[in-house]
Structure 1
């Protein structure tokens, strides 16, 4: 009997490394506040603790830094932000507010130890005066604006300057989150501001970006991802005047950005939701969005029932 043809090859089994890479992608891209829920499902699907732990060890640090999560220190002296600007190595993060270094467990998302920062890890007294004054002003603003917000000011350039005549640069990180899984909604606010102090023109240049992400998943799966970038500048003055001016600029920009988000929600039915509607409905008749006043339920009923005639 003639052979009717070769049987199709069975799909090749993925290697452990390939499975770990796929699992890592799902973990690292989990919505704000939901990585533990994703991890539970991923672990169940894999059915292999070794592969899961390999993926988790790589994904959690990426996720934690991307979401700028804040972890409470064991001595309750405050929260340390998990950010690349304070990263000394994979598990140790510098907290400029308390001048401490926190050791964290990324997978458990807890801070397990703290130690005082060394002299080499700290900026000079001249730089720290600018940094500390700015951090104090920002803390007041963040505390009043974001119910669960955390901020930190890092010196990323020129931290050894001993006095006037030098350029230096700070990075301001503001992170706030609101998790309400019982209401099927989680969200996070992040803003990162590069503040470049230029001595020669006596100018402070400010460049920032704001990222907002939220996830609503009651009987659906709706994501909001908003991002915008900004620029501004102010005069290089005393630490106190610089702190007040920079904080006012950030406050003004972030307030306007939040107002623009709220305005976009008001117009969602006429913009985004309208675009989601099928272009050509089942009736094959396009809905005249440009002139909705021509439709009147009362007029149609009156005409159908011949009322008043």
Structure 2
């Protein structure tokens, strides 16, 4: 395997990193590359892609909250390895170094004036989303943007991480919604990634697409009322998705996992499936809101 092929392999491994484990994966692929300078240069595009798609979070300088680093937040590219992102909540932008994996950091905070026409509704959406976040994701982070694509479009993004290496699991919940007041629609996705690795290696990666039409009564309400009703619709959809995950993993525990094994394993003793369920693997994977800190 030549140097280019090794870099490509390293990038592939990085992009498949489970939640909270990308630094561990990077340390492992160092053994493949054996050259830190070449490694950093070669994997930088993969790290950028990973950070943006996984909604990496950073402490915003001068504030007491975190902001999401994503494509919706990106405002400009700067020097090598760094880009500028916006935090609409504090009305600032900051530099982010994609190579700072151990503790992602923001720097060089600067004022960023919002669009005067869209800010009232964006701010109302932000307030409603923060209320929703506090109710369901204790350690979650949200950023709400005015869309860069068109007027009267807004993007809500939420990420919640739970890292529990002591019990051999880690998980990430991401959701992203585009609210289009021109078409009166809400379109988005919920993405759940979980890694469970006690005496094995089980990963869950699932995507749920949501598409809603907004009644005229919601769109014509005040920004505060409209935003609260939109978040209520999102809450209802995410609640139904959580229930579907619960049902799926209950069925897997009762049927699918049993079907994967022969009647008698090599020990010639029957497997105690009730004991297996006692490990609560299905519950850990399915109870997304409980797992990510909510109720």
TM range (shorter): 0.7 to 0.9
* Alignment of structure 1 residues 225-236 onto 2, 5 Å: 225-234=205-214, 235=216, 236=219
Provide TM-score, normalisation by structure 1. 0.76
SS at match of 1:267: helix
The structure-2 alpha-carbon separation of the partners of 1:145 and 1:216, relative to structure 1 and needing over 3 Å to count, comes to same
- Matches of 1:247 and 1:195, distance apart in 2: 11
Does the residue aligned with 2:210 lie in a helix, a strand or coil?
strand
Q: Which residue of 2 aligns with 1:132?
A: 123
Write the mapping of 1:75-224 to structure 2, written as runs, cut at 5 A.
75-90=62-77, 91-109=83-101, 110-119=104-113, 122-124=114-116, 126-157=117-148, 168-198=152-182, 204-224=184-204
Instruction: Note the residue ranges of structure 2 that are not aligned, 5 or more in a row.
Output: 78-82, 267-295
Deviation at 1:279, TM superposition (A): 10
Q: 1:195 to 1:281 in 2, by over 3 A?
A: same
- Structure 1 position 63, deviation (Å): 1.1
The superposition leaves residues 85-114 of structure 1 with CA deviations (integer Å, 9 ceiling, x where unpaired) of 011234211111111112112121422414
Which has the greater radius of gyration? 1
- Greater RCO (Cα-Cα under 8 Å, separation 6 or more): 2
Which string of whole-angstrom CA distances, capped at 9 and with x for unpartnered residues, describes residues 110-145 of structure 1? 2241433444xx222x31000001100110111220
Distance 2:76 2:10 in 1: 24
Number of residue pairs aligned between Structure 1 and Structure 2: 255
Distance in structure 1 (CA, Å) of the matches to 2:123 and 2:45: 34
For residue 157 of structure 1, report the CA deviation from its aligned partner: 4.9
**Runs (5+) with no aligned partner, structure 1:** 1-12, 160-166, 283-309
Q: Name the stretch that deviates more: 48-57 or 269-278.
A: 269-278
Instruction: For residue 59 of structure 1, report the CA deviation from its aligned partner.
Output: 2.1
- Cα drift, residue 275 of structure 1: 4.0
Structure 2 residue 260 is matched with structure 1 residue 276: yes
Distance in 1 (alpha carbons) for counterparts of 2:236 and 2:170: 25
The answer to whether the 8 Å contact 2:176/2:190 transfers is yes
For the aligned residues, what is the CA RMSD? 2.2
**Does the 8 Å CA contact 2:192/2:205 hold for their aligned counterparts?**
yes
Moved over 6 A (4+): 279-282
Paired residue secondary structure (2:23): helix
Q: Does the CA-based 8 Å contact 1:102-1:111 persist in structure 2? A: no
Distance in 2 between the 1:51 and 1:115 partners? 30
